[in-house]
Amino acid sequence: MNKKLMLFLLFLSLFGASGAYGASGFTTEVVRAGGVSTDELKSPGMRTGRSISLYKEEDFEPKRKFKSTQHVIVWIYDYQKNPQPEYVPDAIHALADFGVFEDLDQAGLYIGFLAGVLGDNQLMARRLIKRLFPMTPKNQAVIIMAIAYSGLPEWRLVLTDFTERMPARTVLIDEFLFGSHKPLLEAPIDQNPHMIDALWGYYIATGYLQPVERVIATLSWIQATDNTDRFTLAHMAMWTLVKNAELDRPLLRFYRRLLPSASKEIKAPLQKVIKASERFESNKIKKAVIIAIATQKRRKLGKTTKWAWGAKAGEALLAVGCVTASALGHPELAAPCIVTGAIYKGVRKLMFDKTSP
């Protein structure tokens, strides 16, 4: 046996036929940036917990075909069970092709999801962003916002590096680079009506509980009848908290853990969220939200709001035309329909339409 053959067999015995670091398709759990281990990130205090695998081959660019918006939604909600960041650019391109980003106020879930994927996969963030191109100038806003919301330590540098690919969006880029915009986990929730959806999207992508804690914080506005925007956001947040906890029971345990230390303004509505979640009464909460928002609209109290109002509350919430339980044979699709789709295909009409009821 010659020396070359002996060395080759020795290599195979040490690494396996395709197990060398960097071989195509090789995956491994890694220590995250900042020295946080996978086990630490799975701890109850930080996230709901799941392992994430990263592809190490720089030239490996898998493609995935998404047949419809519903198909993408199914995949996004299954992402928690099987994180596949390498397919996220394909999902974003599919959503763009399906026209989902024509109205950014309805794209909060996807912006937050993309931001979460980028922030949770810092080692491959730039490669994922690179694969988001080409993108039409109008839809490039999704990329810009996701980078800014991602929480990447060097997000400004990353956004600057990709500016040349988005010459038509320099105004928006400058607003994020030099304005008062902050990452999603720090930005004021009432600055934009898509923030609640974006926070849930970030949670879906990462399992981090900070976005959920921020949603819970809006419950302090549940009695803010002098500020219609905050009043509406607080009620929308309550609904999403209950519905998501019905489907994701670790969230209910998180709510219970926060309750003892919650402020007076948050404790009462959070108790209501916990009780409704325990009893699977999201429909009851939805009806209460409809009544509260409709009543607030009739009162027309408080200062002028940033968001125009219109449409009947009940009609707007119930006639949402969103994903149905039978789509693609996935009954679980009723969940994203109610949790996020209904908010910006239904409640959105209540807040933004300029027509009178």
pLDDT in tens, 36-45: 333 443 344 4
What pLDDT is recorded for position 41?
39
Q: Which position has the higher pLDDT, 217 or 321?
A: 217
pLDDT band at 50 (very low <50, low <70, confident <90, very high): very low
Euclidean distance between CA atoms 169 and 166, whole angstroms: 6
Of 254, 248, 255, nearest to 336 by C-alpha is: 248
Q: Which amino acid is at 200?
A: W
Report, in angstroms and rounded to the nearest whole number, the Rg of the chain calculated over CA atoms. Answer: 22
What pLDDT is recorded for position 291?
83
What pLDDT is recorded for position 28?
26
Percent of the chain with pLDDT over 90: 42
Task: Assess whether pLDDT exceeds 80 at residue 322.
Answer: no
Mean pLDDT of the chain: 74
What pLDDT is recorded for position 3?
56
Q: Is 47 helix (H, G, I), strand (E, B) or coil?
A: strand
Taking residue 158's Cβ as centre, other Cβ atoms within 10 Å add up to: 18
Task: Assess whether pLDDT exceeds 50 at residue 345.
Answer: no
Provide CB contacts within 8 A for 139, sequence distance 6+: 96, 101
pLDDT band at 347 (very low <50, low <70, confident <90, very high): very low
pLDDT band at 209 (very low <50, low <70, confident <90, very high): very high
Report pLDDT digits (tens) over 75-124: 998 898 889 999 999 999 999 999 989 888 778 899 999 999 999 999 99
What pLDDT is recorded for position 295?
80
Task: Assess whether pLDDT exceeds 80 at residue 217.
Answer: yes
Q: Which position has the higher pLDDT, 262 or 197?
A: 262
Q: What is the mean pLDDT of residues 243-247?
A: 87
Residue 347 backbone phi and psi in degrees, to 5: -60, -35
Report the range of poorest mean pLDDT among 184-188, 191-195, 317-321, 332-336.
Answer: 317-321
Task: Assess whether pLDDT exceeds 90 at residue 256.
Answer: yes
Note the pTM of the prediction, 2 decimals. 0.74
Percent of the chain with pLDDT over 70: 66
pLDDT band at 52 (very low <50, low <70, confident <90, very high): very low
Domain extents in the chain: 64-208, 210-352
Q: Which position has the higher pLDDT, 95 or 352?
A: 95
Report pLDDT digits (tens) over 142-184: 999 999 999 999 999 999 999 999 999 999 999 999 987 788 8
pLDDT band at 61 (very low <50, low <70, confident <90, very high): low
Distances from the Cα of 259 to the Cαs of 45, 186, 197, 199, 222, in angstroms?
14, 22, 23, 20, 16
Taking residue 47's Cβ as centre, other Cβ atoms within 10 Å add up to: 18
Task: Assess whether pLDDT exceeds 70 at residue 7.
Answer: no
Query: Could you tell me the two tokens for 13?
Result: 């015995």
What pLDDT is recorded for position 172?
93
What pLDDT is recorded for position 48?
52
| CB distance 216 to 255 below 8 Å | yes
Q: What is the mean pLDDT of residues 349-353?
A: 40
pLDDT band at 220 (very low <50, low <70, confident <90, very high): very high
What pLDDT is recorded for position 13?
44
